[in-house]
């Protein structure tokens, strides 16, 4: 056996620094390009816009029969509370409103929700939608749930994002006219910062929810999940609650998986495999909360924001699959049409397509 | 990382820097505001409250550290006679209603219904806030809230915004009493409107908040297992008056 006599350079910090002299400038250049070249996660944000808009629209429609009582003039009993914890103008506009003005405001909020879902003039519609939705919510914050709080904050961030780049009336109109959208660099920067805020807020919510849980005795001993689903307020299907909580193993597993999924969520976003696992776990948790605890609005709103973490490539695959399914069952069969906009591929290289992906 | 050279534009860099720093500061402040009490959070108060209390208000200790583990009920009854007759009690001819469990009535439409409207949360949300405000009171103040304060007599026997109240209580005590009074006024207002809805109106209301803990996990299969309920009692109060538009949606 011969010894390899080639000189081997021992690893040293000095050698690494010499080799990566331009690391700092390259990193800054990469950050600059990430924020200025593309409006990232355009498909994820489109899904978030459509899904969260539909949830708010459903929430407004389901509450029509009681709206004047709980948010309109009927909520005047909350005035002592609102006098200290109420919002400032223009979000307090409904505080002294009569039935007529409240009904007008509520109707406009529903119309804005429809336009938001459709993606028409979102630069104007999004701030208006935020004001109209929040002013209703501000009338009676005690009956809000986490979903109301979350989407109100998200709408503030989304004001700065380009929400109508994909799957919107605006993009459809542009495509029809054969126009390409002019994208100003500074506006692209604000879009990407808004996207970072959405992702940061999501991570913060899950991480804190998990960290608060590990401090609780019942979460530590693995029985916490049993209690809310056994209450009248959150156990809306007692037979289902009874079924889930009958076996102590199931109770402990659900309790622990909830805590682990929430705490691990931000850290699992760094790799595409772990990110997919995190999204599946969190989606499962939301479906469970929606059905077993009767909180579909809260779960739906949270899950809709998770959409920005799914890559544009995945959303395009889903779109193609849905179009193919539709064509196979639709009685009005058309010749296959492209499902992407002409500028789409160039703009949305998979590695650039979303914030994290 | 690609080695592509891009010549940055000064205005874009400035926007990126300013907006980026603002975003980082906002997320950092959100962490401080929503996180547990730390020296950082304490040193940033009251600025954190000023910034967040409003449309940015939030809290993410969802079902934690202790999960929701009790049924909470807002119960009440009313006196339907005039205030003067009510003040004399049943021996003076006052007409009282039976006790009503408002929360249980609201919950009926939630049972088996994922898409119940938010009316089902009204009395429960008042219960939660009033209970915790009452818990912050001193033991003597807690005893006092069970007394009747009617015919214009202020709760605790003193206007909490007066110089007399400032003399009588320390500032922290007064702050707790005012916070409680705000929630009590909200609860009495709600009970007054409920009385309009149910009986066409009342001159006085009496409120009891009841908490019934869920049977402990280990005893969940024991059908005979019971738990001890707790109550916060708020004595008779004059009903609140509301304008026509409010009354019209409750009638």
Q: pLDDT tens digits, residue range A46-79?
A: 999 999 999 999 999 999 999 999 999 999 999 9
Tell me the average pLDDT across A253-274: 96
Q: Do B3 and A215 touch (CB under 8 A)?
A: no
Asked whether residue A7 is domain-assigned, the answer is no
Whether B4 has a pLDDT exceeding 90, the answer reads no
Put simply, the answer to whether B114 touches A296 (Cβ < 8 Å) is yes
- Rounded CA-CA distance A203/B30 in Å is 12
Across chain B, mean pLDDT equals 95
Task: Tell me what pLDDT residue A346 has.
Answer: 42
Instruction: Test B249 with A72 for CB contact under 8 angstroms.
Output: yes
Q: What is the pLDDT of residue B5?
A: 59
> How many CA atoms does the CB half-sphere of A76 hold within 13 Å?
21
Task: Confirm whether A346 is domain-assigned.
Answer: no
Nearest to A189 among B6, B19, B248 (CB): B19
Whether omega before B46 lies within 30 degrees of 0, making that bond cis, reads: yes
**A343 to chain B, closest Cα gap in Å:** 22
Cβ pair B217:A27 closer than 8 A: no
pLDDT band for position A356 (50/70/90)?
very low
The reply to whether A300 falls in a domain is yes
Q: Are B130 and B187 in contact (CB under 8 A)?
A: yes
In a domain, A51, yes or no: yes
Provide the domain limits for residue A129. Answer: 39-313
User: Which pairing describes strands B230-238 and B100-101: parallel, antiparallel, or unpaired?
Assistant: unpaired
From the CB of residue B42, how many other CB atoms can be counted at a distance below 10 Å?
10
**Please, which residues have CB within 8 angstroms of residue B68's CB and are 6 or more apart in sequence?**
A227, A228, A231, A233, A234
- Residue B7: predicted pLDDT: 84
Name the token pair of A115: 């336009």
A103 occurs within a structural domain: yes
Q: How many domains does chain A have?
A: 1
- Phi, psi angles (nearest 5°) of residue B206: -130, 135
Inter-chain residue contact A68 with B112, CB threshold 8 Å: no
The model's pLDDT over A155-185, given as tens digits with 9 standing for 90+, comes to 999 999 999 999 999 999 999 998 887 889 9
Residues contacting residue A138 through CB under 8 Å, at least 6 positions apart: A82, A86, A87, A91, A92, A94, B55
Q: What confidence score (pLDDT) does residue A256 get? A: 97
For the record, the structure tokens of A208 come out as: 């804190």
Q: What is the pLDDT of residue A191?
A: 98
ipTM given for this complex: 0.93
Q: Is residue B210 classed as helix, strand or coil in its secondary structure? A: strand
Rounded to 5, what percent of chain B is helix, strand, coil? 50, 15, 40
CB contacts of B9 in chain A (<8 Å) are 185
Q: Which of B75, B86, B93, B28 is nearest to B187 (CA)?
A: B75
What's the whole-number average pLDDT of chain A?
A: 91
Does A263 map to a domain? yes
Q: b/e per residue, B107-136, with b = 16+ CB within 10 A?
A: beebeeeeebbbbbbbbbbbbbbbbebbee
Cβ neighbours of A224 in B, within 8 Å: 63, 67
> For A26-43, what is each residue's pLDDT tens digit?
999 999 999 999 999 999
Residue of A nearest to B248 (CA): A74
Q: What is the pLDDT of residue A350?
A: 40
Chain A hits for B11, Cβ within 8 Å: 186
pLDDT of residue A12: 85
Residue A46 is assigned to a structural domain of this protein: yes
Contact B67 A219 (CB under 8 A): yes
Residues in A closer than 8 angstroms to B111, CB to CB, are: 232, 236
Looking at residue A339, what is its pLDDT?
A: 54
How large is the average pLDDT for residues B163-174? 95
Contact B248, A99 (CB under 8 A): yes
Please indicate, yes or no, if residue A23 is contained in any of the structural domains. no
Cα–Cα distance for residue pair B52/A345, rounded to 1 Å: 41
């Amino acid at each position: 056996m011969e010894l390899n006599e080639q000189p081997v350079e021992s690893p040293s910090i000095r050698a690494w620094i010499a080799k990566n002299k331009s690391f700092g400038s390259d990193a800054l250049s990469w950050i600059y390009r990430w924020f200025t070249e593309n409006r990232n996660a355009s498909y994820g944000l489109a899904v978030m816009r459509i899904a969260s808009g539909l949830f708010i629209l459903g929430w407004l429609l389901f509450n029509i029969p009681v709206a004047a009582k709980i948010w309109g003039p009927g909520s005047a009993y909350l005035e002592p509370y609102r006098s200290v914890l109420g919002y400032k103008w223009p979000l307090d506009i409904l505080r002294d409103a009569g039935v007529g003005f409240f009904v007008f405001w509520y109707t406009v909020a529903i119309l804005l929700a429809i336009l938001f879902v459709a993606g028409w003039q979102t630069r104007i519609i999004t701030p208006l939608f935020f004001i109209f939705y929040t002013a209703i919510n501000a009338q009676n914050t005690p009956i809000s749930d986490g979903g109301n709080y979350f989407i109100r904050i998200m709408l503030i961030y989304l004001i700065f994002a380009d929400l109508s780049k994909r799957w919107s009336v605006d993009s459809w109109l542009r495509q029809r006219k054969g126009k390409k959208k002019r994208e100003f660099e500074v506006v692209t920067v604000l879009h990407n910062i808004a996207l970072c805020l959405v992702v940061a807020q999501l991570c913060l919510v899950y991480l804190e929810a998990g960290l608060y849980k590990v401090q609780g005795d019942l979460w530590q001993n693995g029985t916490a999940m049993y209690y809310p689903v056994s209450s009248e307020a959150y156990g809306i299907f007692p037979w289902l609650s009874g079924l889930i909580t009958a076996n102590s193993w199931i109770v402990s597993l659900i309790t622990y998986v909830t805590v682990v999924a929430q705490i691990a969520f931000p850290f699992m976003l760094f790799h595409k495999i772990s990110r997919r696992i995190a999204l599946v776990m969190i989606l499962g948790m939301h479906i469970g909360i929606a059905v077993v605890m009767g909180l579909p609005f809260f779960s739906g709103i949270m899950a809709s924001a998770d959409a920005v973490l799914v890559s544009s490539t995945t959303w395009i695959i889903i779109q193609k699959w849905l179009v193919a399914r539709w064509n196979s069952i639709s009685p009005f069969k058309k010749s296959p049409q492209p499902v992407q906009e002409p500028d789409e591929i160039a703009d949305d290289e998979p590695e650039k397509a979303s914030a994290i992906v | 990382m690609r080695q592509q050279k891009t010549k940055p534009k000064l205005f874009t860099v400035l926007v990126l820097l300013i907006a980026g720093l603002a975003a980082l500061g906002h997320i950092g402040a959100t962490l401080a505001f929503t996180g547990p009490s730390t020296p950082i959070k304490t040193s940033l108060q009251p600025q954190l409250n000023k910034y967040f209390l409003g449309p940015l208000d939030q809290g993410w200790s969802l079902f934690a550290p202790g999960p929701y583990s009790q049924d909470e009920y807002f119960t009440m009854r009313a006196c339907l006679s005039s205030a003067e007759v009510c003040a004399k009690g049943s021996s003076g001819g006052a007409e009282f209603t039976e006790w009503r469990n408002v929360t249980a009535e609201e919950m009926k439409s939630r049972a088996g219904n994922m898409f119940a409207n938010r009316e089902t949360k009204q009395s429960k949300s008042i219960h939660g806030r009033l209970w915790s405000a009452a818990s912050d009171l001193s033991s003597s103040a807690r005893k006092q809230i069970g007394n009747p304060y009617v015919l214009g007599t202020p709760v605790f026997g003193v206007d909490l915004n007066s110089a007399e109240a400032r003399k009588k209580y320390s500032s922290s005590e007064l702050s707790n009493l005012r916070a409680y009074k705000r929630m009590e006024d909200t609860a009495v207002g709600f009970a007054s409107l409920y009385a309009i809805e149910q009986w066409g109106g009342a001159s006085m209301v009496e409120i009891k908040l009841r908490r019934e803990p869920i049977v402990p996990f280990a005893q969940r299969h024991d059908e005979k297992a019971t738990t001890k309920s707790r109550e916060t009692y708020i004595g008779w109060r004059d009903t609140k008056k509301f304008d026509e538009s409010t009354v019209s949606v409750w009638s």
